[in-house]
Amino acid sequence: MYSDDKTVYSGKVSRDAYIKYVLETYSQMIIRLCFTYVKNICDAEDIAQDVFVSLMKHEKTFDNSEHEKAWLLRTAMNKSKNHLKSGWVSKTVQLDDAEADTSEAEITDATEKSNVLEAVLSLPEKYRTVIHLFYYNGYSINEISDIINKKPATVGTLLARGRAILKKMMIGGFEDE
């Protein structure tokens, strides 16, 4: 719901329509962002569910769809970080991906299985986040700075450093560097 939207969500039908809209519009994006943090599709889906539950509990209205999208992305990042810090995650060991889940195949497409995605996922979190938001979600440096609460110059530096690390990973370093 947006503050500039004249539609009043009164009744079950309107709220259900809003929930359906949000899920159809943002679920894949949120799951992919969570996946870049937790590197496990099942955990990413669980975190995405938590994000949408938080949205339903969120009582304030959004200024516009970009504000709503930024709130969802920020919430997904925070919940992913909290998940990684939890005692459960730090004391468990991942099983081999011998039995691939069919939902994983539906969510991840060919580009996510490429070497580039593996390289992006292996980046430190600060570079991985800005690269994901810039390239996968199409945000500008100024928009990313608002989402992650850092100055635009810092975001630009993180992008440049992340690209340099990716370049080194993908084509290897040069001996004279």
Q: How big is the chain, counted in residues?
A: 177
- With 60 as the cut, is the pLDDT of residue 105 above it? no
Q: What is the pTM of this model?
A: 0.61
The string of DSSP letters for 129-175 reads HHHIIIIIS---HHHHHHHHT--HHHHHHHHHHHHHHHHHHHH---T
Amino acid at 51: V
Between CA 1 and CA 59 the distance in angstroms is: 10
Asked if residue 28 has pLDDT above 60, the reply is yes
Question: Going by CATH, does the domain composed of 110-177 fall within 3.40.50.12240?
Answer: no
Residue 11 has a pLDDT of 42
Mutual orientation of helices 41-57 and 12-38 as an angle, nearest 10°?
140
Cβ of 74: how many Cβ atoms within 10 Å? 15
Q: What does the pLDDT average to over 3-15?
A: 49
Residue 145 has pLDDT above 80, yes or no: yes
CA 162/CA 13 separation, integer angstroms: 45
Q: Which amino acid is at 9?
A: Y
* Mean pLDDT across the chain: 78
- Confidence band for 96, pLDDT divided at 50, 70 and 90: very low
Q: Residue-wise over 79-88: b if at least 16 C-beta within 10 A, else e?
A: bbeebeeeee
pLDDT at 97: 44
Quick count: other Cβ atoms within 10 Å of Cβ 25? Answer: 14
Which residues belong to CATH 1.10.10.10 in the chain?
110-177
Q: What is the pLDDT of residue 78?
A: 93
Mind listing the pLDDT tens digit for each residue in 30-85? 999 999 888 889 999 999 999 999 998 887 788 888 889 999 999 999 999 998 88
